[in-house]
Amino acid sequence: MKKRILALTLTFALAASVLAGCGGDDKKEETKAPETQAAGGDETQAAGGDETKAETEAAAPEGGESKGVIKLGGLAPLTGQYAEYGKGFDIGFHKAIDEINAAGGVNGYTFEIDIKDTQSEPVTTSTMATAFAEDDEIMALLGDFSSGACKATAQICDSYGILQLSPTASASDYAAMSKYFFGIMGRQDVEAPFLAKYVLKEYLKAQKIAVIRVDSDWGKSCYDNFIAQAEKEQLDVTVETYATGEKDFSSLITKMQAENPDVLVVMDQGDPVADIFNQADAAGWKIQHVALGPGTSEQVVGRLNDKDNLIVTSPFFFDPDDAELTAWAEWFQGEAGFAPTIHPACAYDCVYLLAEAVKSIDGEVTRENLRDALANLPEYTGVTGSIKFEEDGDIKRNYMICGIEGGEWKVLEGFEFGAAGF
Amino acid sequence: MEYILNQLINGICQGSIYALMAIGYSVIVGVVGMVTFTYGEIMMIGAFSSYYIFTGLSNNLPLAILGAFAGSFIIGSIVYKLCYERFFNAPRHISLLCTIGISMLIKNLAQIVFGPDTKPVLNVIDNTTFTLNLFGANLNIRLLQIVVIVLVIVFAVALTLFFNKTKWGVMLRAVSQNKDASYLMGISVKRTALLGNCIGCGFGGIAGILLALYYGSVSATMGASYSTKAFAASVLGGLVDIRFSALGGLCIGIIENMGIIFTSATFRDVFAFAFLILILIIRPQGFVSKKGARV
């Protein structure tokens, strides 16, 4: 008997932990309740109670008649090495949906999202995307985080005719892969050349560059775009790569140190950026640090040993003088427990873009007309700035040069610095 | 020359951590008699225990080592109770599957409890670099690397003394060599195996703190890749011999880092596992002698 109880307890604990890890969608129910009530769905009856009734009245659809719920499929790395970005996606998507639903929805529609954990692994992403695509109620996919994972769903999106709007895919060939692909992060074929010409050549006046980059789709695309411009600028570049998930960079640093470069550039996102610079500091290597990928990440600042030695490119900056942005950032920090980067802000903007697309549709919303409406959306200004899709479904952003001073991000050169282009 | 020597230092330091990981792994396999898949998560628990001591009680290294050992020791006892104790006489794959399940459980719980973000472990040891002139070449060695190597040597020697000079050590060796004979000699095999598993896990915890110090960070998912290295090093040493497992770990660390001289870091695991395969082709029993020397 004792054995049976132990076995049952274990099974439940294991299942609960795996589900918590994979699902990570605590807020789904909170979001879903008022939405479905607003839509007048059957679930309202099941939820019941005076409190939910009051919420129903508060969230009555804009324009009177309720047309239903638009369900979205979220793809995000809720666990694994990109988990903090996945958490940012989760919070960003839900905040936007809560706000839209609380304001009465759009054209009689409210929104609902089901987020699946993909760990930003292409195989998992395509499996989850297929599951969403086969569900006729899912109108669009939001996510994934990495360009590689996003690209893995091209055939699925084409076959099922469902759009995928990624907050963060930045590979220059991503959006062009499918007419159903959209991205709002900006493209590496703009950011990487900006790094070579404006950050390294003009701002830092560096000549000999050491690049350490992640050996991934994203990293390769970044470097290819970077080196093409670096050659035009006649920069002397040495490059080394490492596998995704690597923690030990000491040997790479020793190898690069032997080259005696002017600047150390890291092309990656998140943890490895701080790890590489910290390990370079620990090796006693005094060199200017530059990163392509993390943007003005507070997590990176929090993890850096020498905070005031990093310069990055960024299309976006949480300006402390902007009350609205500051309030958004503070709210995010309260929810997530860490300061936001551009990534959750892009996730937030993605939902509003879809809401704008729905607003422009007369009649019933289908996957196909939602895709067309999104593609033809006029310029929209979100938290992350101006967004206007180009023909291939991607956008081109402008970039600033940001650095850390006294432990805080500052704009070193604004958008005007690189305005002349390439 | 200078560059190669500096890479050798990196390799020795990384190899030392692998060696400690492999020692703990070999103790578990030797005494319990079964392979474990929870070792990566055990190291992660050790790393997080030290992280919370560093952040809560200032950068007290001895206390953090004690905390890492204790944290992993306790988790080790739970793992033993859940995965091994009830399945001693069951087919081996039962325990094996249990350790896979528990590994997933610990990892996912850690992501919920500790959070998904990577946490920094900085400035615990002074960022000092010593330069030695060796045959005209400047050899850079960091204080952190010296501390890591010294700690690994100290713990390896302490464990060897424990196994050879204490009553519990002799009992552990006896259980490792022959469980039935040990039982007939009046040794409580289950209790001794529990202790062996916990000590092995405790050493995994100390390896976890060294990883946290060396790489400056801890995360809930950090264990996976290191457990593979610990297993590989342990296999090189014949799975149950702590001295040869330590040698295996050291070799893997050096081979990985020397390989980077000729190619990119992307292929570091290729070097490590190619070396493992090569050795196993030549000596299927690993570095250990054919007669076998257990814990």
pLDDT single digits (tens) B203-243? 999 999 999 999 888 988 888 888 999 999 999 988 888 88
Tell me which residue has tokens 């090189």. B236
- CATH number for position A286: 3.40.50.2300
Cβ atoms A212, A257 nearer than 8 A: no
- In degrees and rounded to multiples of 5, residue B261 shows phi and psi of -60, -40
Cross-chain Cβ contact A14/B105 below 8 Å: yes
Q: Is residue A320 part of a domain?
A: no
Do residues A272 and A414 both lie within one domain? yes
Which SS3 state, helix, strand or coil, does residue B179 take?
helix
Do residues A412 and A296 both lie within one domain? yes
Of residues A181, A107, A183, the one with CA closest to residue A343:
A183
Q: Is residue A169 part of a domain?
A: yes
Q: Is residue B58 part of a domain?
A: yes
- CATH number for position B52: 1.10.3470
Number of other CB atoms surrounding residue B123 within 10 Å: 13
Q: How many CA atoms lie within 13 A of A240 on its CB side?
A: 27
The number of domains in chain B is: 1
Cross-chain Cβ contact A17/B116 below 8 Å: no
Do residues A109 and A55 both lie within one domain? yes
The average confidence (pLDDT) of chain B is: 90
Do residues A269 and A129 both lie within one domain? no
User: What is the ipTM score, two decimals?
Assistant: 0.75
Q: Nearest-CA distance from B129 to chain A in Å? A: 6
Cross-chain Cβ contact B215/A275 below 8 Å: yes
Do residues A201 and A301 both lie within one domain? yes
The number of domains in chain A is: 2
Q: Is pLDDT at B281 greater than 80 in this prediction?
A: yes
Q: Is residue A16 part of a domain?
A: no
Q: Is residue B230 part of a domain?
A: yes
The confidence band for B292, taking pLDDT boundaries of 50, 70 and 90, is low
Per-residue pLDDT of chain A (422 residues; tens, 9 = 90+): 555 555 555 555 555 554 444 444 443 333 333 333 333 333 333 333 343 333 434 445 555 567 799 999 999 998 777 777 898 999 999 999 999 999 999 999 999 999 999 989 999 999 999 999 999 999 999 999 988 899 999 999 999 999 999 999 988 889 999 999 999 999 889 999 999 999 999 999 999 999 999 998 889 989 999 999 999 999 999 999 998 888 889 889 989 998 999 999 999 987 889 999 999 988 889 999 999 988 888 778 888 888 899 999 998 888 888 888 888 888 888 888 877 888 999 999 999 999 999 999 988 999 999 999 999 999 999 989 889 999 999 998 999 999 998 888 899 999 888 888 87
Cross-chain Cβ contact A284/B3 below 8 Å: no
Do residues A282 and A413 both lie within one domain? yes
Q: Is residue A366 part of a domain?
A: yes
Sign of the four-CA dihedral A122, A249, A317, A228: negative
- Chain A residues with CB inside 8 Å of B123's CB? 305
Mutate which: A250, A252, A256, vs B, most B CBs within 10 A: A250
Cβ atoms A347, A167 nearer than 8 A: yes
Cβ atoms B55, B218 nearer than 8 A: no
Range of the domain at B125: 2-282
Q: In chain B, which residue's Cα lies nearest the Cα of A270?
A: B118
pLDDT at A300: 85
Which SS3 state, helix, strand or coil, does residue A397 take?
coil
**Whole-number Å distance between alpha carbons of B56 and B163:** 34
Do residues A182 and A197 both lie within one domain? no
Q: Is residue A69 part of a domain?
A: yes
CB-neighbour burial class of residue A104 (10 A; exposed 0-12, middle 13-18, buried 19+): middle
Do residues A66 and A96 both lie within one domain? yes
Do residues A66 and A170 both lie within one domain? yes
Mutate which: B124, B222, B266, vs A, most A CBs within 10 A: B266
Q: Does A80 touch chain B (CB under 8 A)?
A: yes
**Whole-number Å distance between alpha carbons of A243 and A40:** 50
pLDDT at B264: 80
Q: Which of residues 403-422 of A touch B (CB under 8 A)?
A: none
Range of the domain at A284: 188-314+399-418
Do residues A273 and A405 both lie within one domain? yes
**Whole-number Å distance between alpha carbons of B153 and B148:** 9
Do residues A299 and A372 both lie within one domain? no
Q: In chain A, which residue's Cα lies nearest the Cα of B262?
A: A255
Q: Is residue A319 part of a domain?
A: no
Tokens of B64: 């953090």
Q: How many CA atoms lie within 13 A of A117 on its CB side?
A: 20
Do residues A406 and A278 both lie within one domain? yes
Cβ atoms A343, A89 nearer than 8 A: yes
Tell me which residue has tokens 């660390």. B253
Which of A17, A246, A303 is the closest to B118 by Cβ? A303
